[in-house]
């Protein structure tokens, strides 16, 4: 029976160790999947936030914008919305005809699909506008001439237009609003990348009568287009597609950039309707190393940004949906893209061969794919070569040969990007402030700082400034546009528009927080003791009245903040709680407090001088707690400096504490059980002579020579128990038989505490 008890205790100990190991592994896993970017400011939009609501089936799409207004394509209408306040200025309505809608539903589409979704907009040189819509899966384009504007009852203007042209738009506009299509308008021509059939099985890049080859997987293989722009006589298209060069090893999606010449007129003879200049190259966005980790699926691009005379474009990449969830932001120079198209071509000898570079001796002259005055005069061999060899050998490298931002998290993926280009900091340097949207309604703001090292190498450092929840959780960010003059970021989802400020300087209440946030828009004002926006402040770069640091830590930022008596901490208090001896004005700064402080506090002009608390912080007793605390479920509430990731970290610490307590409890219980078991063994003469077969073993006593039953006689080395058993209230030793069927009776006789421990663990 003692052997059975030992086995049970050993099993309980092993079970406890197993549970503890599982909990520890769970905690380690949670810690390992924490996001690798931790913003210093975890914030929500300001309390006053502008929104423009619709339905999720409206499929909002930004068609054009400037600093004053934004044009949004939606279901059966195009809106002209003011940038500030998101008020509707005017609209243009274009409904599908009843016959087109009926035919659409007869083809098996849902009712909400059979509408006219505005997808293409372009201003023409003669004042007209070009507008294209899906038109119930039968795309059409119209040319409009504005006539006049008349206000309607709702206060929004209803524009009157005269239709001058109405044509079919097959190849110019997508059939479905959910299809990933893009376009660019250059030199009076519309370059579109979409599909040319109802089922979406014929992708193409199209301009007038020119298109990519139909059903040619070498040119386009199930692409998803994400953006396009015109530059240096070319039109560039960014998309992701199934990789033909990887087909012999499996199935993979690669990101591409395609290029066509604007003056391409088609080839000679039967190539008159085909591009003679279409080329494509892979975009390399990967973590460097011996075995690079690739972010292969491009999701969005930014407009072209000019930096020191160089054109750059930023792009968002993700991993596959069934892979480790990761996202990255990479930047590319237009010159590097053009250099990739001047490299070697890539080809496959046959379907069983590897894709290898084409030897220079096999490339026709003049080099195929270049822009010429009249492509119709090209030789047929050049046109056939570019048709069969559109892929380049070299991939386009990212700036710094690595992503500018990486995020590996189970919570979200990046979906959109916008860039506030060349923001001037206090030191006179310029930084690109990048905003990246996610599929759960967040916007991450970050910059990149380049630090030089003695070995003449530059190191890239990513500074994540803030992360804002601008849309309800689970609502993906589709597009974002920036108005630097209005200090506004417009965030677009399928059914709503939201504006948020580009910076949150006013939310930081202390010098350390203002500097450690490392936002080039924000600086600490030594005179007014406020974190201010440099663009809105009247200052001169290099002045000593402001503090800013864009390459520092919190500890370094704290050392930069003043800690002298000339820079007092001002605490607002009700007038009734301030003595006359405590009342004073700003010391060595101004005779009166600023009007901003008066408006913020609403208390009066009296202030109290306090000792320094937490390194020059300025508490405000009159701030509403509702404006300070962050609400995860109401993105339109006032916000303060809150770090949600810190909450997750604290939760993981709580789990570690719980696991530690459980381990201690298991250890103490196991030790107690073992000690009780040893005490129980001491109550017997010889535990190894215990009979397990239901019959007591007889031995000869060394003194008397008589047979003695060791289970019945008392142990000579133990003290006879004279007090009644507390558990049984009487002597039950006569029930303690040497049989396994009396196990439950034998243990309470002498080891009731062990029984309790055993039952508790079981």
Provide the pLDDT for residue 41: 54
Phi and psi dihedrals of 761, rounded to 5? -70, -35
Q: Is pLDDT of 427 > 90?
A: no
Residue 466 vs residue 632, higher pLDDT: 466
Residue 85 vs residue 631, higher pLDDT: 85
- Over the range 641-665, which residues count as b (16 or more CB within 10 Å of their CB) and which as e? bbbbeeeeeeebeebbeebeeebee
pLDDT of 8-50, one tens digit each? 666 666 656 555 555 555 444 444 434 445 555 544 444 447 8
Q: Is pLDDT of 571 > 80?
A: no
Provide the pLDDT for residue 623: 34
Q: Is pLDDT of 599 > 60?
A: no
What are the residue ranges of CATH 3.30.1680.10 in the chain? 506-642
Residue 265 vs residue 597, higher pLDDT: 265
Q: Sorting pLDDT into bands at 50, 70 and 90, what band is 97?
A: very high
Strand positions, DSSP E, 474-545: 479-483, 488-492, 496-501, 522-525, 530-533
The residue among 226, 258, 241, 193 whose CA lies nearest residue 61 is 226
pLDDT of 675-705, one tens digit each? 666 655 554 444 444 444 444 444 444 444 4
**Between the ranges 230-234, 351-355, 516-520, where is the mean pLDDT highest?**
230-234
List CB contacts of 240: < 8 A, sequence separation 6 or more.
223, 224, 226, 253, 254, 255, 256, 296, 297, 298
Domain at 506-642: CATH code: 3.30.1680.10
Lowest mean pLDDT among 132-146, 209-223, 416-430, 692-706: 692-706
The residue among 235, 233, 258 whose CA lies nearest residue 372 is 233
Distances (CA, A) of 623 to 274, 532, 602, 618, 638: 66, 18, 10, 12, 11
Mean pLDDT rounded to a whole number for the chain: 75
């Amino acid at each position: 029976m003692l052997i059975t008890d030992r086995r049970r205790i050993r099993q309980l100990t092993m079970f406890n160790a197993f549970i503890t190991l599982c909990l520890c592994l769970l905690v380690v896993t949670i810690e390992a999947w924490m996001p690798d970017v931790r913003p210093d400011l975890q914030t929500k939009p300001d309390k006053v936030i502008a929104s423009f609501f619709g339905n999720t089936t409206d499929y909002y799409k930004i068609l054009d914008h400037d600093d004053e207004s934004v044009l949004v394509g939606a279901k059966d209408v195009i809106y002209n919305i003011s940038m500030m306040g998101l008020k509707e200025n005017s609209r243009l309505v274009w409904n599908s005809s009843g016959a087109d809608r009926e035919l659409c539903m007869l083809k098996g589409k849902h009712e909400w699909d059979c509408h006219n979704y505005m997808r293409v907009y372009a201003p023409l040189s003669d004042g007209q506008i070009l507008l294209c819509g899906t038109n119930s899966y039968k795309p059409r384009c119209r040319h409009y001439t504005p006539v006049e504007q008349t206000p309607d009852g709702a206060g929004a203007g209803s524009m009157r237009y005269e239709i001058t042209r109405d044509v079919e738009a097959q190849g110019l506009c997508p059939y479905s609003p959910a299809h990933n299509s893009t376009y660019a308008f250059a030199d009076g021509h519309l370059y579109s990348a979409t599909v040319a059939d109802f089922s979406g099985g014929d992708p193409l890049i199209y301009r007038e009568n020119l298109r990519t080859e139909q059903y040619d997987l070498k040119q386009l293989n199930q692409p998803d287009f994400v953006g396009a722009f015109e530059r240096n006589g070319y039109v560039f298209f960014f998309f992701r597609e199934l990789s033909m060069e990887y087909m012999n090893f499996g199935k993979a999606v690669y990101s591409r950039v395609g290029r066509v010449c604007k003056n391409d007129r088609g080839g000679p003879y039967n190539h008159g309707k085909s591009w003679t200049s279409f080329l494509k190259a892979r975009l390399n966005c990967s973590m460097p190393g011996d075995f690079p980790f690739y972010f292969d699926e491009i999701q969005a691009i930014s407009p072209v940004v000019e930096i020191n005379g160089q054109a750059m474009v930023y792009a968002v990449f993700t991993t596959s949906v069934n892979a480790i969830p990761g996202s990255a932001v990479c930047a590319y120079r237009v010159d590097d893209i053009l250099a990739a198209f001047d490299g070697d071509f890539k080809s496959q000898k046959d379907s069983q061969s590897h894709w290898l570079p084409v030897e220079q001796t096999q490339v026709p002259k003049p080099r195929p794919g270049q822009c010429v005055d009249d492509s119709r005069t090209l030789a047929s061999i050049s046109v056939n070569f570019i048709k069969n060899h559109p892929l380049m050998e070299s991939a386009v490298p990212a700036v710094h040969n690595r992503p500018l931002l990486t995020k590996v998290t189970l919570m979200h993926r990046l979906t959109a990007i916008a860039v506030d280009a060349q923001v001037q900091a206090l030191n006179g340097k310029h930084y690109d402030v990048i905003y990246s949207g996610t599929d759960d309604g967040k916007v991450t703001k970050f910059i990149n700082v380049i630090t030089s090292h003695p070995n003449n190498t530059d190191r890239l450092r990513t500074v994540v400034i803030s992360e804002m929840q601008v849309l309800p959780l689970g609502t993906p960010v589709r597009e974002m546009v920036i108005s630097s003059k209005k200090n506004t970021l417009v965030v677009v989802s399928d059914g709503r528009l939201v504006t948020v400020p580009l910076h949150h300087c006013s939310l930081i209440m202390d010098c350390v927080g203002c500097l450690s946030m490392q936002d080039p828009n924000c600086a600490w004002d030594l005179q007014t003791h406020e974190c201010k926006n440099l663009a809105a402040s009247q200052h001169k770069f290099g002045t000593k009245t402001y503090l800013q640091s864009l390459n520092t830590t919190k500890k370094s930022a704290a050392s930069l903040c003043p800690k002298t008596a000339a820079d007092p901490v001002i605490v607002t208090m009700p007038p009734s709680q301030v003595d006359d001896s405590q009342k004073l004005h700003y010391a060595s700064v101004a005779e009166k407090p600023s009007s901003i402080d008066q408006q913020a506090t609403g208390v009066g002009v009296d202030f109290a001088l306090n000792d320094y608390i937490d390194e020059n912080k300025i508490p405000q007793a009159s701030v509403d707690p509702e404006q300070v605390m962050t609400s995860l479920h109401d993105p339109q509430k006032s916000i303060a400096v809150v770090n949600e990731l810190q909450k997750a970290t604290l939760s993981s610490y709580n789990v570690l504490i719980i696991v530690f307590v459980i381990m201690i409890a298991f250890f103490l219980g196991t030790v107690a059980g073992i000690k009780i078991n040893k005490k129980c063994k001491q109550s017997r003469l010889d535990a190894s002579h215990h009979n397990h077969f239901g019959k007591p073993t007889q031995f000869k006593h060394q003194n008397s020579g008589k047979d003695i039953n060791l289970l019945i006689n008392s142990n000579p080395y133990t003290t006879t128990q004279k007090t009644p058993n507390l558990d049984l209230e009487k002597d039950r030793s006569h029930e303690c038989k040497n049989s396994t069927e009396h196990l439950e009776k034998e243990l309470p006789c002498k080891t009731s505490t062990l029984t309790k421990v055993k039952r508790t663990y079981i």
